[in-house]
Chain A
Amino acid sequence: MKQSRFAWIVPALYILFLMTPIYWLVAMSFKTNVEITTRFTLLPEALTLDNYAKVFGDERWRSVFANSLMYVSLNTLISLAVALPAAYAFSRYKFFGDKHLFFWLLTNRMAPAAVFALPFFQLYYKFGLFDTHIAVALAHCLFNVPLAVWILEGFMSGVPREIDETAYVDGHSFPSFFTRIFMPLIASGIGVAAFFCFMFSWVEYLIADALSRNAVVPITTRLQALSQASGTDWGVLAAAGSLTLIPGAIVIWFVRNYIAKGFALGRV
């Protein structure tokens, strides 16, 4: 369909609106605290890297970044490992209770984190897992496993069933067929599912915060503690905040064509 010659103005204005607050954060991260609190400057007057130096030089900042990346990666691995066979079962077979199970998984994806924060704390405390990476990783499975199952099922259903049958006729066992033939076929689906598990675990705050105290402080918990304290060091907060944009910005390029599909749980 032909668009009007000035159609580009709409997305351009929208992107401008999106970038302005981000610009302000990044600009702030290059300003000194004196400049931030006393003068209103659109561009940093004296570009300083001090805030970043403080973040990278502080063991506590380095460890919170490492903590978050650690439980997020663990969660992605666990979610994919259990979701792959399950998604295959849903996409290929009918079995007792399949529809109910598929729906029940969805309800977990939609469950409010605020409902689960307290019981999660008690559960993992009882198992002696409170304040460990694995606790946060397992807790995030609540919404990431259903997400991964739904996304993978969407991709797997696009692969014709004849391929499975031919492989079995050729004498492949299920594990050999699944890992050598099937997984390469849905490689992009696995990538998209991994990306969305990574992302939803990375952006989540409430549950990660509830399951950590000293050993596994997530990045957002530290940001929260510092941003709502008195005498806030705005420059350092802005620098640390800007750094949290990077993982998303890097991976976004690879999944740009699948973003809609991922958010719609593989159904677009």
Chain B
Amino acid sequence: MKPVNHKAWFLVAPVLLLVAISAIIPLMTVVNYSVQYVGSTGRFAWVGDEWYREVLHSEKFWNALWRNLVFSGVILAIQIPLGVLIALNMPRKGWGVPTCLVLMALPLLIPWYVVGMIWQMFGRVDIGLMGVMLRDFGYNYEGDPMDAWFTLILMDVWHWTSLVALLAYAGLVSIPDAYYQAARIDGASKWAVFRFIQLPRLGRVLTIAILLRFMDSFMIFTEPFAVIAGGDPVFLSTELKQTVELGKKAAMSIIYFLIILAVSWVFYAVMTRNDGEPTSADKARGGGA
């Protein structure tokens, strides 16, 4: 057990100070704006929850929220199984391991705006490799919203599937060999090994992957902005950026932030669930993750 030491606060103080400036003051300004009306002369007037009601009755807000949820749902449905499939087939030893890790991680380290730019250059029907190839099938992401959706989803799969694959791979290599030996003795099929050994042991990393991918896709702004410059589909962050009235913008920010806060709580619960448990207990517990 960790000793209780309230003096540890001194060690945390710098972080607290810095993040307070970075987070609390801006957040308070947003709260402040969200309950007031700012006139053209810069005068403030108290309006209570009016902005919140306006946001919650705004069709644009709900549309953006739904689009965001659909987007997150679709990319999770593609990236999670695809990531696991790739991780299962990645080499376990030899030169293939570092090659796979390095090449797969590459998209994760590209500035987000450049990711969008790459896909713009790749997808444009006049100069893009994919755009020119698909042009004859009527593909044009600048004109057709469905094609824009297709491009954005493909881009996100390209950008982030590696994260799922790398997390799943880290989970897979940590499975002790004894499990597989036991399965071989039982004559378990490949599917049985996956279903009853690998998948349960991957439970924790996959939960982390799902939450991370949900969060980041729920906040997506830069990559679609680079590809379609604020056109359709409009996601929540885009809608927020395009809202002009300060009060409405602030109220929308707060609602947005509360949704994120709720998901963060789930995330926190998952992340710290196994903290502080000795690893031997983890092993002794058997197949369940």
Contact of B21 with A24 in the complex, beta carbons under 8 Å: no
Q: Quick one: which of B26, B171, B260 has the most chain A CB within 10 A?
A: B26
CB-based contact B25/A123 at 8 Å: yes
User: Across the interface, which residues of B come within 8 angstroms of A220, CB to CB?
Assistant: 111-114
Distance in Å from the Cβ of B104 to the closest Cβ of chain A?
7
Is there an interface contact between B8 and A123, defined as CB atoms closer than 8 Å? no
The distance in angstroms between the C-alpha atoms of A118 and B110, with both chains bound, is: 25
Task: Decide if A145 touches B105 in the complex (CB within 8 Å).
Answer: no
B12-38 contacts to A, CB under 8 A, are 12, 14-16, 18-19, 21-23, 25-27, 29-30
Q: Could you say which of A10-18, A46-54, A55-63, A184-192 contacts chain B?
A: A10-18
Taking the complex as formed, is B265 at the interface, i.e. its CB lies under 8 A from any CB of chain A?
yes
- Nearest-Cβ distance from residue A33 to partner chain B, whole angstroms: 10
Let me know if B222 and A24 touch, CB within 8 A.
no
Complex: how many Å from CA A137 to CA B219?
21
The yes or no answer to B257 lying at the interface (CB within 8 A) is: yes
B8 to A89, Cβ gap below 8 A?
A: yes
Q: How far apart are the CA atoms of A142 and B22 in the complex, in Å?
A: 6
A11-B89, A203-B111, A264-B208 given; A119·B29 CB < 8 A: yes
A112–B108 contact, CB under 8 A? no
| A-side contacts of B113, CB under 8 Å | 205, 220, 223-224
Please state if B169 and A107 are interface contacts (CB–CB under 8 Å): no
The smallest beta-carbon distance between A71 and chain B, in angstroms, is 13
Chain A residues with CB under 8 Å of B120's CB are 227
Chain A interface extent, by class: 35 or more
Q: Is the CB–CB distance between A105 and B15 below 8 Å? A: yes
A-chain residues with CB within 8 Å of residue B109 when the two chains form the complex:
199, 202-203, 245, 247-249, 251-252
A241 touches which of B25, B98, B118, B132 (Cβ 8 Å): B118
The residue from A20, A94, A263 contacting B5, defined by CB atoms under 8 A apart: A94
Whether A78 contacts B18 by the Cβ 8 Å rule is yes
Q: Which of B102, B171, B253 lies in contact with A253, CB distance below 8 A? A: B102
Identify the stretch in B40-48, B140-148, B160-168 within 8 Å (CB) of chain A at 4 or more residues.
B160-168
Residues of B within 8 A of A228 (CB): 229
B129 proximity list for chain A (CB < 8 A): 20-21, 24, 42
In the docked arrangement, what's the CA distance between A4 and B234, Å?
44
Beta-carbon contact of B260 and A22 below 8 Å:
no
A108 touches B23 (CB 8 A): yes
Sample of 11 A–B contacts (CB below 8 Å): A7-B89, A24-B128, A42-B129, A93-B4, A108-B23, A112-B256, A120-B26, A204-B112, A261-B170, A264-B167, A267-B271
Taking A11-B90, A247-B109 as known contacts, 10 extra A-B pairs with beta carbons closer than 8 A to each other, sorted by chain A number, are A28-B127, A86-B12, A86-B15, A112-B260, A119-B27, A120-B26, A123-B26, A223-B117, A234-B121, A268-B205
Which B residues contact A (CB, under 8 angstroms)?
2-9, 11-12, 14-16, 18-19, 21-23, 25-27, 29-30, 82, 85-86, 88-92, 96, 98, 100-114, 117-122, 126-130, 132, 158, 161-163, 165-167, 169-171, 180, 193, 205, 208-209, 212, 215, 218-219, 221-222, 226, 229, 236-237, 240-241, 249, 253, 256-257, 260-261, 263-265, 267-268, 271-272, 275
Going nearest first, the 6 A-B pairs with the smallest beta carbon separation are A248-B109, A119-B26, A260-B170, A10-B89, A89-B11, A114-B237
Residues in chain A within 8 A of chain B (CB atoms): 1, 3, 7-11, 14-15, 17-22, 24-25, 28, 36-37, 40, 42, 78, 81-83, 85-86, 88-90, 92-96, 98, 101-103, 105-108, 110-120, 122-123, 138-139, 141-142, 145-146, 149, 157, 199, 202-206, 219-220, 223-224, 227-228, 234, 237-238, 241, 244-245, 247-249, 251-253, 256-257, 259-261, 263-265, 267-268
